[in-house]
Structure 1
Amino acid sequence: MKLYSLKNGVNPRRVRIFLAEKKVTVPIEEFDMESAGHKQATFLAKNPLGTLPVLELDDGTLISESVAICRYFEEMIPEPPLFGRSSLERARVEMWNRRMELELLLPTIDVFVHTNPFWTGRRTQVAAWGEQRHKLLVERMRWLDSELKGRAFIGIDHYNIADITAQVAILTARGALKLAIPEDHANLTRWWNAVSARPTSRA
């Protein structure tokens, strides 16, 4: 078994945190954006989209997409349950993880791609779209702050993949966008401090 990952990649980070929570160690082959090895023919034979992460099983089976990889390990190693403990919890985790992807993670990535000089010449940048997504991201941080009132975690009462998705989104916003959580977002700040204190946050 081998995990193909990307240094500083958002979705690979999701998988690494998930595996750390499961206390699973998997051999990792890491690529970087500068050399773009994941865009070369050898890797494209494994994933024609050239995206990471990709999990290669011992029999050669390939699983792409971060949540699909996490679901595979959830089935293999059910404890701790990061997708929920019951039908209702699993539905709520699915709902909230999707919300964190659409309302927090994707806007963060869009702002980075469309406004950061790193992507000049690598991707077509539309500055106006980046600015619109930045406004949305700020609005969604306020929304999530209100949703976290009286809650320790996102969606259910224990740490789960929706927390991990929001965690990597905020981490990327802070690092790549220099967008910190506003000081008046007490609930979001409390949550952020708690998830950041987990040993797995450094995976």
Structure 2
Amino acid sequence: MKLHQGMGPNSYRVRIFLKEKAIDVPMVEVDFAKGEHKAPEFLKLNSLGQIPVLELDDRAIITESVAICRYFEETHPEPPLFGSDAVSRAKVEMWNRRAELVIFATIGNVALHSDAFFKDRLTQFPAFAETERRAVPKKWAWLDRELADGRPFLAGDDFSIADITAGVCGWLGDVFGMEIPASLENVKRWNERVRSRRSWNA
């Protein structure tokens, strides 16, 4: 088994997840600067040319960060990071999707439509990037209101993949100059709680 990964939020999500599970997986670094994600051999693993990619011992391939995390949740159920019963699993799914669709997608659109790294991947619309950039603080303000009930983590009392996703959103925002507004006390406390975990430096 080996994990093909590298720089970027999705690989980071999987590394944090593995650290929380105390799972050691051999890793293969994919260098985007050298175009290794476009190499014929890599495209055999993932035709989209994206990371991370989990290659199992039987040569089975799993792509997409959440799908990879689900595999490890099934094979290493403790500690549960996708919930432990029907209600908690549904809430984790809900909050992970919200983190992806509301915050991750907005920050990602800024990067996709403004950074030169992505200019060959899609037709960039700088005006759209700027619109999305202005929307980012509103997305965090929404989450701040949601966390006003005092719960420690997004889906409730327990840390989950939803916190990993949203935490990496904060990191990605830092990278592209879209820091979480300092006035959002509830998000600030939650973010500090996530970044204080040993897995954060995975």
TM-score, with structure 2 as normaliser? 0.95
The number of residues matched between the two structures is 201
The aligned counterpart of 2:55 is 56
The aligned counterpart of 1:191 is 190
> What secondary structure, in the 3-state scheme, does the structure 2 residue paired with 1:148 have?
helix
The aligned counterpart of 2:31 is 32
Q: Quote how far apart the aligned CAs of 1:116 are.
A: 2.6
The aligned counterpart of 2:167 is 167
**Distance (Å, rounded) in 1 between the aligned partners of 2:37 and 2:162:** 27
> What secondary structure, in the 3-state scheme, does the structure 2 residue paired with 1:69 have?
helix
- Seq. identity, %: 46
In structure 1, the gaps of 5 or more residues are none
User: How far does the alpha carbon of each residue in 1:103-139 deviate from its partner, in whole angstroms, 9 at most, with x for none?
Assistant: 0111111111212344445643211111121122221
User: How far does the alpha carbon of each residue in 1:69-91 deviate from its partner, in whole angstroms, 9 at most, with x for none?
Assistant: 00000011111100001001000
Q: Quote how far apart the aligned CAs of 1:155 are.
A: 1.6
> What secondary structure, in the 3-state scheme, does the structure 2 residue paired with 1:55 have?
strand
The residue correspondences of 1:1-203 to structure 2 (distance < 5 A) are 1-6=1-6, 8-120=7-119, 123-149=122-148, 150-175=150-175, 177-203=176-202
**Distance (Å, rounded) in 2 between the aligned partners of 1:121 and 1:9:** 17
> What secondary structure, in the 3-state scheme, does the structure 2 residue paired with 1:24 have?
coil
Kept in 1, the 8 Å contact 2:136–2:178? The answer is no
Question: Partner letter of residue 77 of structure 2?
Answer: P
**Distance (Å, rounded) in 2 between the aligned partners of 1:70 and 1:76:** 10
**Distance (Å, rounded) in 2 between the aligned partners of 1:146 and 1:43:** 43
Kept in 2, the 8 Å contact 1:107–1:136? The answer is yes
Question: Partner letter of residue 14 of structure 2?
Answer: V
RMSD: 1.2
